[in-house]
Amino acid sequence: MDGSTANQNQPSGKNLVNLGPVPELRERGRAVLKVKGRQIALFETDGKLFAINNRCPHEGYPLVEGSLKKGCQLACNWHGWTFDLASGKALQGRDAVKTYAVTRVRGDILIDLAPEDPSVLRARAYGELDEALAEHDYDRIARSLARLEAAGEEVENTLRHVISLSVHRFERGFGHAFAGLADWLAFSAHSDQATRRVALLEAIGHISWDMLMGTDAPLPRLRKRWSAKACLEALEDMNEEEATAHIRGAFDEGLGFQAVKPVFEALIFAHYAGFGHPAIYLMKAEQLIDALGQEVAEPLALSLARYLCHAAREDLIPEFKGFADYLALEPGFSPVPKVECLSGQSVRQVFALTAASNAHVHEMWEALLAASAMNMLRFDIERQHGIAQPIAQNIGWLDFTHAITFAEAVHFHGGRNAALWQSGLTQMAAFVGRNAPFLMAEMDEGRFVDDIQAFLGAQKAKLFNMDEGDYIYAVHRLKMLRATEALLVHVSKPTARLIVAALNRYLHARTRQRHPARTAFQAWQTVARES
């Protein structure tokens, strides 16, 4: 052994490599060698031999240039990550460094390059991923995903793991992060590997951010025998524990998501609620189940139920209180109004126009969709910069884009269940009318696109390296592109031109993300009224 002991068990077996005497190790107490495509750093300190990967697991800088500390510790000089040379454990920093069994025999250095069991690599990578998710350590999330891929893990399994973990941190339930995941998967499905990796990272990064912004909120564990009637009543009462108990019962009894879905539909299309998110989220939940399998059906159903128990019931506020009355009317057979007769009208006016013509389901849907696109082309974008104004006057691009993404959800659900069209159209009417006070007299005519497919291809490519600040703004660009692409196959050429022009204006206009002056003004006004 020549006086130095190994850092681990004695190296042995078919993966044993003789590195020779390595004179530099004797002279400097450290050396770096390239062995079978790997850079191995060797250290001899306190009479012991150590072998580790030379690349720091943080950002890949050479550990052979690091500083040795007492107790056989090594600090990377670039960012201070410090490792136990024997175990590889990170004592300062996060990820462990790979170690190898090594010894000296008759003056030669022998190292064992036996590969680790893939199951061990996957378990370690999942542990690192879970820690990174909890901290929203974006770079570490990326490294963990790369290590899972290197260990042979399937992306679908990784996503199932992330969903199961995150639902207990989403205190308000299903949100934009899950919806965005469905769209990232759809857009990247036929892309190259590099593009799919970006989509995976951005989707999981968003989920991680929402976990960080949430609290420890485990879903209720109570279970009850499935009852569609009792579940719907619980959702109407916003009783999360009761609703989720019945949903767990449906899965326990093997009934699955298909039993729960009609209950969700009944609630969602009985109300104008949550700014249209309920219908959108139900659609995205179904798409995720299709993509990832029944393993995610129960956690997504429970998360959706939690969201529905928190969603604002906007049909109960004065502006939209006529919603239920219009749902009670018989379908109307009047000719569908022109788009110009819908854009700019009040909520009540668009409600009435829609009710008069909603028997012409697809024509009315397309007219409301076109009116929503026209509203985007007429949005007075200077209104998003207002300061000294009441909260009800706060407006931004996302108030307009939701009309388009909601229209996609209406077509999705109505195409599968015709009974949902009347409510879906009436909710679309609410979107068209609520934005009327924030419109210019004329459309922005400079946003029409000649080559629609080339435009969409270029904008989709930009998604995979965008820098849009908060995830909420990035995911809405994703959702608008995804919705536009999905809608174009269902509409006429004039409507397609309007939708794409609206998308073009949105993507190339400034989206105000923060409003410090307005927030301060409105907060002090609110508190002043309290006293």
Residue 268 corresponds to which tokens in the numbers above? Answer: 């969602």
With a cut of 80, say whether residue 142 has pLDDT above it: yes
Task: Judge whether 141 lies within some domain.
Answer: no
pLDDT digits (tens, 9 = 90+) for 285-321: 999 999 999 999 999 999 999 999 999 999 999 999 8
pLDDT digits (tens, 9 = 90+) for 10-22: 666 778 999 999 9
- CA-closest candidate to residue 110, choices 15, 27, 3, 46: 15
Q: What is the dihedral of CA 265, 266, 272, 277, to 10 degrees?
A: -20
Task: Judge whether 130 lies within some domain.
Answer: no
Q: How many domains is the chain partitioned into structurally?
A: 3
What pLDDT is recorded for position 2? Answer: 53
Model confidence band, residue 6 (pLDDT cutoffs 50, 70, 90): low
What pLDDT is recorded for position 1? Answer: 44
Model confidence band, residue 138 (pLDDT cutoffs 50, 70, 90): very high
Helix (H/G/I), strand (E/B), else coil: 12: coil
With a cut of 70, say whether residue 4 has pLDDT above it: no
Q: Say if residues 439 and 403 touch (Cβ distance below 8 Å).
A: no
With a cut of 50, say whether residue 496 has pLDDT above it: yes
Residues 432 and 374 in one domain: yes
Q: In this structure, which amino acid lies at residue 180?
A: G
With a cut of 50, say whether residue 72 has pLDDT above it: yes
What are the start-end ranges of the H helices in 214-335? 228-236, 240-252, 257-268, 277-292, 297-310, 323-327
Average pLDDT, the chain: 95
Domain extent, residue 355, equals 320-517
What pLDDT is recorded for position 479? Answer: 97
Residues 456 and 391 in one domain: yes
Q: Say if residues 51 and 100 touch (Cβ distance below 8 Å).
A: yes
Residues 21 and 60 in one domain: yes
With a cut of 90, say whether residue 153 has pLDDT above it: yes
Mean pLDDT, to the nearest integer, of 180-197?
95
Task: Judge whether 40 lies within some domain.
Answer: yes
CATH code at position 31: 2.102.10.10
What pLDDT is recorded for position 349? Answer: 97
pLDDT digits (tens, 9 = 90+) for 450-463: 999 999 999 999 99
Residues 179 and 307 in one domain: yes
Residues 308 and 353 in one domain: no
What pLDDT is recorded for position 71? Answer: 85
Burial 266-299 (b: 16+ CB within 10 A, else e): bbbbbbbbbbbbbbbbbbbbbbbbeebeebbbbb
Residues 257 and 400 in one domain: no
What pLDDT is recorded for position 9? Answer: 55
Task: Judge whether 150 lies within some domain.
Answer: no
With a cut of 90, say whether residue 468 has pLDDT above it: no
User: What percentage of the chain reaches a pLDDT higher than 70?
Assistant: 98
Mean pLDDT, to the nearest integer, of 57-73?
93
Residues 405 and 295 in one domain: no
With a cut of 50, say whether residue 227 has pLDDT above it: yes
pLDDT digits (tens, 9 = 90+) for 340-390: 999 999 999 999 999 999 999 999 999 999 999 999 999 999 999 999 999
Q: Say if residues 161 and 297 touch (Cβ distance below 8 Å).
A: no
What pLDDT is recorded for position 394? Answer: 96
Mean pLDDT, to the nearest integer, of 15-41?
92
Residues 263 and 383 in one domain: no
With a cut of 70, say whether residue 464 has pLDDT above it: yes
With a cut of 80, say whether residue 3 has pLDDT above it: no
42 DSSP β-pair partners: 31, 51
Q: How is 202-249 classified by DSSP, letter by letter? A: HHHHHHHHHHHHS---PPP-------HHHHHHHHHTT-HHHHHHHHHH
pTM for this prediction: 0.92
Residues 284 and 341 in one domain: no
User: What percentage of the chain reaches a pLDDT higher than 90?
Assistant: 92
457 DSSP β-pair partners: none
